[in-house]
């Protein structure tokens, strides 16, 4: 194997291990904070990170492909549920439509992997070119199933930010939704990147596959960092965002009380 590819593999493996650890840390931290603040809407997000980390650990071992096929879309479903509970709890949304589409597409790839060709990203086994159409259909389905929750979260958070940015609440709580929106939109790059995985049995030894996996891992790490900053913002960053802000009255609100205040302010404005 060429030295350049070995170096790239080492970089990706290092970044991937950082990704696995960071996902688990963020997930556990969000879970603990969810228990303390009673913000139950954060539970699906914490499980999203924890399960993504577990899947990352599983991918380091030579487990049957069908196991990954059975569990691969679970984090995406959790992200979809998180968006529904956080931004549209009591509203009509396309949530069920999105969920049905994702489940149908997942069933298709699961059946193809079970009965026709064991698909993986990147490819690691040799197959006839007769199966190339199945492979690129598989990549397209991955792209769609990732794009739906990522773009819905990004749009919902950005729209929520536009609603609250003029309200008399601390600026840091407004910036939270902007950070979450941007990190989700950045995560969308992950979905697009999968479309560029090559039809090749070389797996991670293929230069193009290496670049794609590097991009996927990097943007997921960025999303992890954005999520923990957005939901569990450090005190120093809160102080920075709150410079020049003068509240109507002195008050110290916890996470749950802040959300209640936002809803109250929005109802007055409507």
| pLDDT single digits (tens) 133-163 | 888 888 999 899 999 999 999 999 999 898 8
- Averaged over 36-57, what is the pLDDT? 87
In the chain, the percentage of residues whose pLDDT exceeds 70 is 83
Q: What is the mean pLDDT of residues 63-81?
A: 79
Calculate what percentage of the chain has a pLDDT beyond 90. 25
Whether pLDDT at 190 is above 80: yes
> Bigger pLDDT: 56 or 84?
84
Whether residue 185 has pLDDT greater than 80: yes
247-265 tens-digit pLDDT: 655 444 445 555 565 556 5
On average, the pLDDT of the chain sits at 82
The tens digit of pLDDT for each residue in 199-254 reads: 877 776 778 888 888 888 888 888 888 887 887 788 899 999 988 887 655 444 44
What pLDDT does 44 receive? Answer: 93
pLDDT of residue 80: 94
**What is the chain written as a DSSP string?**
--HHHHHHHHHHHHHHHHHHHHHHHHHHHHHHHHHHH--GGGHHHHHHHHHHHHHHHHTTS---HHHHHHHTTHHHHHHHHHHHHHH-TTS--SHHHHHHHHHHHHHHHHHHHHHT----SS--S---GGGHHHHHHHHHHHHHHHHHHHHHHHHHHHHHHHHHTTSSS-HHHHHHHHHHHHHHHHHHHHHHHHTT--S-TTGGGSHHHHHHHHHHHHHHHHHHHHHHHHHS--HHHHHHHTTT---SS-----HHHHHHHHHHHHHHH-
């Amino acid at each position: 194997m060429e030295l350049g590819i070995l170096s790239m593999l080492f970089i990706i493996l290092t970044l991937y291990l950082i990704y696995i650890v960071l996902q688990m840390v963020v997930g556990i931290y969000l879970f603990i904070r969810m228990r303390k603040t009673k913000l139950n809407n954060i539970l699906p997000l914490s499980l999203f990170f924890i399960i993504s980390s577990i899947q990352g650990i599983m991918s380091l071992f030579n487990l049957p492909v069908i196991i990954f096929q059975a569990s691969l879309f679970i984090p995406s479903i959790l992200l979809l549920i998180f968006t529904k509970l956080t931004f549209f709890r009591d509203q009509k949304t396309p949530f069920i439509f999105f969920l049905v589409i994702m489940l149908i597409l997942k069933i298709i790839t699961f059946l193809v992997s079970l009965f026709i060709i064991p698909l993986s990203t990147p490819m690691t086994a040799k197959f006839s070119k007769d199966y190339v159409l199945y492979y690129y259909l598989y990549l397209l389905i991955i792209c769609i199933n990732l794009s739906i929750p990522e773009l819905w979260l990004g749009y919902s958070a950005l729209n929520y930010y536009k609603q609250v940015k003029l309200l008399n609440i601390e600026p840091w709580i407004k910036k939270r939704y902007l950070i979450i929106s941007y990190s989700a939109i950045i995560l969308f790059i992950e979905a697009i990147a999968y479309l560029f995985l090559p039809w090749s049995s070389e797996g991670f030894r293929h230069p193009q596959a290496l670049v794609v996996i590097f991009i996927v891992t990097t943007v997921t790490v960025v999303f992890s960092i954005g999520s923990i900053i957005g939901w569990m913002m450090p005190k120093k960053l809160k102080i920075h965002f709150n410079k020049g802000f003068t509240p109507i009255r002195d008050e110290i609100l916890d996470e749950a009380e802040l959300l209640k205040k936002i809803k109250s302010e929005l109802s007055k404005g409507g």
